[in-house]
Amino acid sequence: MPVAIDAIVNEAVASIRSKTDFRPYTGIILGSGLGTLFRQRDWIATIPYADIAHFPQPTVPGHEGTLLLGHIDSHPICALSGRFHYYEGHPMHIVTLPVRVMHALGIQRLIITNAAGGIHPQFQPGNIALIKDHINLFGDNPLRGIHTPSLPQFPSMLNTYPKPYRYAFFQLAKSSNLRVHEGVYVGVSGPSLETAAEIHFFQKIGGDMVGMSTVPEAIVAAQLELPVLGISVITNRCLPNLDDEEKTTHEMVLQVASNTAPQLYTLLRQWLQVDFSKYQLP
Ligand code: HPA
């Protein structure tokens, strides 16, 4: 049965519009352990997911469940503190509902952040890696069975993470003497972590980091023609020959991500100020 997503989006948007008519320009999804990134700010509206039609409550520690609307240095944003994961049991159209809702609120571009395991041997816990592309290994697709007559059924995924967005971020990191990586994000459903053989496979197919989010959201963003800045915080190493000492835990993921949050916040704040209409790649 196709899902009539427009009605669902309209009802969610109506819940938000009953509280504020604020129009954000940039949407931001805060990943595991990064929910506190914007905690201290004065918001125009903070809306608990419980007050938004069709938004479930996040069930994972490290994901709060609040929609934030307001300014960062006068730039109008909308941020999701808490995302919905496929592994929590939500259908894909709910996992990606916030992207459609933020689009309907007026966003013109999307920043997706996540915590990820580093497959590339040089990616260390605490490093930031920009997503230049992704590989969808969820075994599902958020556009499957979704009825949206006004949108392309077969959207191109070739320029999902535009180069100028990444390049500007690199330049900002460089001026702060920070090393930022770039890589291909492998999206898996989880919630079990990877076997050694799976990690080996991800390396072979060109993966640099692995995580359980982002890909569904980026696919819906592509359908909506929202350009994406994708950012992974590497929270653990994910190599096929690691011994038990390095076994990944969710607590470790949250700790490393929240330690990196202040650095990421500084870069994001600067990035939001870049005027991409005048931006030139070298
Ligand atoms: N695997 C999958 N998802 C993750 C990981 C990992 O090692 N670290 C953080 N999210």
Domains of the chain: 5-271 (3.40.50.1580)
Is ligand 1 within 6 A of the CB of residue 96?
no
pLDDT of 258 strictly over 60 = yes
| Mutation to probe ligand 1, out of 238, 247, 249, 258 (largest number of atoms < 8 A from CB) | 238
pLDDT digits (tens, 9 = 90+) for 17-48: 999 999 999 999 998 777 777 766 789 999 99
At 5, the pLDDT band (50, 70, 90 cuts) reads very high
Instruction: Supply the pLDDT for residue 61.
Output: 67
pLDDT of 274 strictly over 60 = yes
Instruction: Supply the pLDDT for residue 277.
Output: 85
Instruction: Supply the pLDDT for residue 282.
Output: 72
Is ligand 1 within 6 A of the CB of residue 213?
no
Instruction: Supply the pLDDT for residue 244.
Output: 53
Q: Whose CA is nearest to atom 2 of ligand 1?
A: 211
Measured between alpha carbons, how far is 29 from 35 in angstroms, rounded to an integer?
9
Cβ atoms < 10 Å from Cβ of 226 = 21
At 123, the pLDDT band (50, 70, 90 cuts) reads very high
At 240, the pLDDT band (50, 70, 90 cuts) reads confident
Q: Whose CA is nearest to atom 10 of ligand 1?
A: 116
More confident of the two residues 256 and 108: 108
At 163, the pLDDT band (50, 70, 90 cuts) reads very high
Cβ atoms < 10 Å from Cβ of 36 = 16
Mean pLDDT of all residues belonging to the chain: 91
Q: What 3 state SS string does the chain have?
A: CCECHHHHHHHHHHHHHCCCCCCCCEEEEECCCCHHHHCCCCCCEEEEHHHCCCCCCCCCCCCCCEEEEEEECCEEEEEEECCCCHHHCCCHHHHCHHHHHHHHHCCCEEEEEEEEEECCCCCCCCCEEEEEEEEEECCCCCCCCECCCCCCCCCCCCCCCCHHHHHHHHHHHHHCCCCEEEEEEEEECCCCCCCHHHHHHHHHCCCCEEECCCHHHHHHHHHCCCCEEEEEEEEEECCCCCCHHHCCCHHHHHHHHHHHHHHHHHHHHHHHCCCCCCCCCC
Is ligand 1 within 6 A of the CB of residue 254?
no
Cis bond leading into 216, ω under 30°? no
Is ligand 1 within 6 A of the CB of residue 116?
yes
- For the segment 107-128, the average pLDDT, to the nearest whole number, is 95
As beta bridge partners, residue 116 has 234
Ligand 1: atom nearest CA of 253 is 9
Is ligand 1 within 6 A of the CB of residue 253?
yes
Ligand 1: atom nearest CA of 194 is 1
Instruction: Supply the pLDDT for residue 1.
Output: 67
Give the Å distance between the CA of 243 and the centre of ligand 1.
Answer: 16
Ligand 1: atom nearest CA of 211 is 3
For 164, residues 6+ apart whose C-beta sits below 8 A from its C-beta are 276, 279, 281
Q: Which of 128, 118, 123, 125 is nearest to 233 (CA)?
A: 128
Give the Å distance between the CA of 210 and the centre of ligand 1.
Answer: 6
Positions marked active-site: 32, 63, 85, 87-88, 115, 212-213, 236, 250
Ligand 1: atom nearest CA of 248 is 7
